[in-house]
């Protein structure tokens, strides 16, 4: 699964389903749900009871793993939660992803949610699932430094809800200035969201501001894609230079695990690519500050003192991941 496969219609359909999943969560929390909603929830639970979803993670995760786990459980599916693959599976002994996926396909799973540590493994897994001759969906839950499509889906859903519920504006009629800040070279979430926003918003209604130190600039493939789509983008090294122009901030941490030999000046990032008191003074009143999390306290891209600011949306953003992943699993497995 890559974000390039989505379009506005599919996304709106998925987001409407995600809205509805909140009703299912209320029902599960013992709140009263009646009529069509009750019937809808119970219909899904009945069909999902026949489905088995495997979680196969080669990399650490808090949010993606647990939200997929809870999403699968909330939908009434059976969950096969594999312990960390690089530590506890036969991957330690050199097993290939092709063989691992072939095994799971044979055990009757209907979907495999997969986080990999090398770009391209999700595609390899998809090919192995197809080769098995069974109907098994591979859901990419983060593919090395490549893509993180379900994160981009929940990010876009968060932005849309902000326009719908707080600004009371139709997102498609608004121009969005979005700043991607931090490690843009290695952050798979920014790459996926850049693609997905282009699938959702008309190009003349989008402008990207890439803020990073020169060694962590956005990769050329995304910039070429934006040029092809005629979407305006500019690059900066200091957040303060754009802070008053932005509608959506997307902060990221430095992906230390993917830096290779690159030397990063952390003091520069801390002072120039983070939410500081000086930056906050320049923010517009109606903006949202997002972050895929985890954040890095040592680096301080979003300090904890900002958490109570009404513009801080990263905790809500993570919660939205549950609804979006429930919607996605339902769409993939039941249509």
Smallest separation (angstroms) from ligand CP to the CB of 293 = 5
Please say if 118 is a catalytic residue: no
**Cβ proximity of 86 and 117 under 8 Å:** yes
The token pair at 21 is 């999943």
Please say if 148 is a catalytic residue: yes
The token pair at 224 is 């070429």
Whole-angstrom CA distances from 170 to 87, 240, 253 are 47, 28, 31
Q: Among residues 51, 52, 100, 115, which one is catalytic? A: 115
105 vs 154, beta carbon nearer ligand CP: 154
In angstroms, how far is CA 313 from the centroid of its own chain?
A: 14
**Candidate ranges 96-104, 230-238, 277-285, 290-298; the one touching ligand CP (CB under 6 A):** 290-298
Report d(CA 323, CA 320) in Å as an integer. Answer: 5
Please say if 93 is a catalytic residue: yes
**Cβ proximity of 331 and 17 under 8 Å:** yes
Report d(CA 10, CA 3) in Å as an integer. Answer: 11
Please say if 331 is a catalytic residue: no
Please say if 172 is a catalytic residue: no
Interface residue with ligand CP among 76, 142, 146, 187 (CB under 6 A) is 142
Smallest separation (angstroms) from ligand CP to the CB of 58 = 12
Q: Does 62 bind ligand CP (CB under 6 A)?
A: yes
Q: Does 144 bind ligand CP (CB under 6 A)?
A: no
Report d(CA 261, CA 283) in Å as an integer. Answer: 35
Q: Among residues 51, 52, 64, 253, which one is catalytic? A: 64
Q: Does 151 bind ligand CP (CB under 6 A)?
A: yes
Using CB under 6 A as the binding criterion, the count of chain residues that bind ligand CP stands at: 9
116 vs 151, beta carbon nearer ligand CP: 151
In sequence order, which residues have a C-beta less than 8 Å from that of residue 263 and are 6 or more positions away? 215
**Binding residues vs ligand CP (CB under 6 A):** 61-64, 142, 151, 292-294
Residues forming the active site = 63-64, 93, 115, 148
């Amino acid at each position: 699964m890559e974000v390039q496969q989505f379009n506005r219609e599919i996304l709106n359909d998925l987001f409407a389903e995600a809205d509805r999943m909140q009703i299912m969560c209320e029902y599960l929390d013992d709140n009263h749900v009646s009529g069509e909603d009750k019937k809808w929830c119970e219909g899904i639970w009945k069909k999902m009871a026949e489905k088995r979803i495997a979680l196969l993670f080669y990399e650490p995760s808090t949010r993606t793993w647990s939200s997929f786990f809870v999403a699968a459980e909330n939908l009434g599916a059976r969950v096969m939660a594999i312990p960390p693959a690089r530590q506890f599976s036969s991957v330690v002994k050199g097993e290939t992803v092709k063989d691992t996926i072939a095994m799971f396909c044979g055990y009757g799973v209907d979907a495999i949610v997969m986080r990999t540590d090398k770009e391209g493994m999700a595609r390899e897994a998809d090919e192995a699932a197809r080769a098995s001759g069974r109907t098994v969906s591979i859901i990419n839950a983060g593919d090395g430094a490549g893509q993180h499509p379900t994160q981009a889906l929940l990010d876009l859903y968060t932005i849309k809800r902000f326009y719908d519920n707080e600004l009371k504006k139709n997102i498609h009629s608004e121009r969005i200035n979005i700043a991607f800040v931090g490690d843009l070279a290695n952050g798979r979430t920014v790459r996926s969201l850049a693609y997905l926003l282009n699938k959702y918003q008309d190009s003349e209604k989008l402008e990207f501001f890439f803020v990073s130190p020169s060694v962590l600039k956005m990769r050329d493939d995304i910039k070429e894609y934006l040029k092809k789509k005629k979407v305006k983008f500019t690059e900066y090294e200091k957040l303060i230079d754009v802070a008053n122009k932005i509608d959506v901030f997307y902060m990221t941490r430095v992906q230390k695990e993917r830096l290779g030999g690159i030397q990063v000046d952390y003091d520069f990032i801390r002072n120039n690519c983070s939410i500081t008191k000086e930056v906050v003074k320049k923010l517009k009143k109606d903006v949202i500050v997002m972050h895929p999390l985890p954040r890095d306290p040592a680096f301080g891209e979003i300090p904890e003192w900002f958490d109570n600011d009404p513009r801080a949306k990263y905790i809500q953003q993570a919660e939205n991941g549950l609804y979006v992943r429930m919607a996605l699993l339902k769409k993939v497995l039941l249509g």
